[in-house]
Amino acid sequence: MRAKHPLLLLSALLLALGLIAAAWLAGTHRARAELMEQGQRQLQLMAPELQSLLQKFETLPFVLGFQPDLIDALAHPADAKTIARLNSTLRTIQQQAKVGAIYLMDRDGLTLGASNWDQPLGFVGKNFSYRPYFDAALHGRAGRFYGIGTSSSEAGYFIAQPVYRDGSAGGPVAGVVAVKISLDEFERTWRSSNDPIVLADHHGIIFLSNRRDWVYRSLHPLAEATARELAHTQQYMGQTIEPLAGHSEHYVTQPVGQLGWRIMLFPGQSRVLRAGLQWALSAALLLACAAVSAWALHQRRRRLEEAQASRAALQRAALELDDKITERTQQLRLTNQHLENQYASLQETEHLLRSTQNELVQAGKLAMLGQMATGIAHELNQPLAAIRAFADNARLFLERGQADKAAGNLGHIGEASARMGAIIGQLKGFARKDGSIATVDLAAAIQSSAFLLASEFRRCEVALHIDAEDGAVLVTGDRVRIEQVLINLLRNALDAVETAERRSVIIALARDGADALVSIRDSGPGIPEQVAAHLFEPFFTTKPSGKGLGLGLAISSSIVQAMNGQLTAHNEADGGARFELRLPLPAEGA
Ligand code: ADP
């Protein structure tokens, strides 16, 4: 807004300044008017006071004109006794009346006697014929005058009256009696006032003031004739009367006395200025308050507008959010549907995999059985051939009548068939599709696996060393599957050492912490690096077709993992491979 309306702001500022100036003017005007009124009241009290002071002594010289001592003195000015009596009388009256001085002049203006005759600046012998009051009294009128005493240098108000030769008014004038009154007392009452108060004569000359430097200054420049007159009457003892400078034009005035005097009061400008300042400040404060209120109102309105706008925006946002939520929900529902479909197909796949795995295990077993077929046939052929030979011999012994020998042979036949039964029993258990979970003696499982491969090891002239103590290590699991793994590992070891110079396989059982550990070491060539990476992959084989399917280790590993075990392969430092089968031991006390 500020940038938008610089003109508006400027005019507002000007208006404010104008208002402040107007307040200033009104304030000073009012204060001045008040002060003038107050001053006027003050003067209305002062003027009569002064008037009465002057009036008080008005009759004193008139009465003195009829005093015999004065008339005597004028009649016999050379008589010292008469003059002494006059001086004494004048002194007494002066003291009683509390006036400045009383003195008597002859018709030439020479002072014959005075109340201050014996003082250094006494009037006796002085001539006052040049004073206007003397002239007036000499002509039978009352003389009034204000001026500085030529001998005493003290200012005063002089009142003079004629003294008649024969003591009767209207007769010939013998001399003039004058009374000098000091106005100092009166001026002293003004001292307490802060405002300049002056008493000015009819020329506009200030002769009394509570401001010392204002005395004997004129309110306006004096005319030529006036200056001449003042020089003649020596009214102000030859003081050069300069115009008063720097006084205020605002004053109140009141006429006083019979000489055209004016008493004047100049109200102090500082109070007027202070009042003006107060009004201007008040106006400024008021304007500031108004401006602040306007600003606050504007802010409030703006805040309300903002609040409304943000409320609207919020509503809009809420609506948008609603739309978005609906859309998202729709999307989520679709995604959920999709996921459910995927989950269903995954379940299907898992089911398929599981059955495939079972079938694979079974296939692995059958493959192994196939591989073992030659060995098993050989294993079965031996006792069978023995049985045949024992049976043939037994028949010969019976024909010869050697019954005890025939019985011995029959016993051998029983042993051989028992052995065959054992072989077949083993195979039957191995070929069974699903085993059951039970406690398995690992040493027994190793013996049984080794037994199934025994003829193979013999045929290939491979030494099989078993290091396992019966009943020492028991695990929980499916015995058939464990045997399947062991047979696999033994079979691989046998294959590995078949072409080697030194042919030995060691199978060992031990406890290792919380695990049962079966290790199968062979003296074969070990596992080449490129083979190691694929060892447990299904259908990975290095053997010629017909001999290896590449399923043995893959199936073994999955069987072991299903039992929470681990199957790992390493190469031995002195050559040959080492396979380790780890199965968890049952928890203690379980
Ligand atoms: P197959 O025996 O049918 O080849 P396996 O999964 O049992 O399948 O073995 C995969 C491959 O691992 C074998 O072809 C062979 O190269 C390698 N192998 C397994 N056991 C040994 C071993 N003891 N020494 C060296 N190589 C081995």
User: 487: Cβ below 6 Å to ligand 1?
Assistant: no
CA angle 538, 541, 543 (to 5 degrees): 150
pLDDT confidence of residue 320: 94
Percent of the chain with pLDDT over 90: 49
**Quick one: average pLDDT of 17-23?**
92
Q: Which mutation among 365, 488, 491, 492 tests ligand 1's pocket best, with the greatest number of atoms within 8 A of CB? A: 492
Specify the residue with its C-alpha closest to ligand 1, atom 3: 548
Average pLDDT over residues 283-310: 94
pLDDT of 155 reads: 82
- What value does the mean pLDDT take over residues 178-206? 87
According to the model, what pLDDT value does residue 344 have? Answer: 94
pLDDT at 422: 73
Residue written as tokens 């893959």?
A: 554
Q: How far is the CA of 543 from the centre of ligand 1 (A)?
A: 8
Domain spanning 435-584, CATH architecture: 2-Layer Sandwich (3.30)
Given a cut of 60, whether residue 590 has pLDDT beyond it is no
Whole-number Å distance between alpha carbons of 302 and 314: 18
- Provide the percentage of residues in the chain whose pLDDT is more than 70: 94
Q: What is the pLDDT of residue 433?
A: 57
**Average pLDDT of every residue of the chain:** 88
> Residue 56 pLDDT > 90, yes or no?
no
Q: Is the pLDDT of residue 333 over 50?
A: yes
What mean pLDDT is predicted for residues 304-332? 94
pLDDT average, residue stretch 305-332: 94
Residue 538: count of CB within 10 angstroms of its CB = 17
User: How much is the pLDDT for 154?
Assistant: 79
Whether the per-residue pLDDT at 236 is higher than 60: the answer is yes
Distance 488 CA to ligand 1 centre (A): 9
Q: How far is the CA of 542 from the centre of ligand 1 (A)?
A: 7
pLDDT for the residue numbered 3: 52
> CATH 3.30.450.20 occupies which residues in the chain?
60-185
Cβ neighbours around 271 below 10 Å, total = 17
In this prediction, residues 164-181 reach a mean pLDDT of 90
The predicted structure's pLDDT at residue 373: 67
Give the three-state DSSP class for 271: helix
Q: Are 122 and 154 in contact (CB under 8 A)?
A: no
pLDDT confidence band for 106 (50 / 70 / 90): very high
For 112-145, letters b (16+ CB in 10 Å) and e give bbbbbbeeeebbbebebeebbbbbbbbeeebbbb
- Per-residue pLDDT band at 580 (split at 50, 70, 90): very high
Does the beta carbon of 368 lie inside 6 Å of ligand 1? no
The pLDDT of residue 429 is: 61
Task: Answer whether 532 contacts ligand 1 (Cβ < 6 A).
Answer: no
> Does position 430 have pLDDT exceeding 70, yes or no?
no
Domain with CATH 3.30.565.10 in the chain: 435-584
Whether the CB-CB separation of 152 and 53 falls below 8 Å is answered with no
Residue 261, Cβ density class (10 Å: 0-12 exposed, 13-18 middle, ≥19 buried): buried
List pLDDT tens digits, range 377-426.
777 887 888 899 989 999 999 999 888 988 988 998 988 888 788 777 76
Asked whether 585 and 510 are in contact (CB, 8 A), the reply is no
Q: Indicate if the pLDDT at residue 2 is higher than 50.
A: no
CATH of domain 60-185: 3.30.450.20
H or E element that contains 577: strand 577-584
Instruction: Confirm or reject: Cβ of 499 under 6 Å from ligand 1.
Output: no
pLDDT exceeds 70 at position 182: yes
Average pLDDT of the residues in 160-166: 92
- Which residue's C-alpha comes closest to atom 23 of ligand 1? 493
Structure tokens belonging to residue 360: 């694979």
Q: Which residue, 175, 162, 125, 128, is CA-closest to 148? A: 128
pLDDT of residue 1: 46
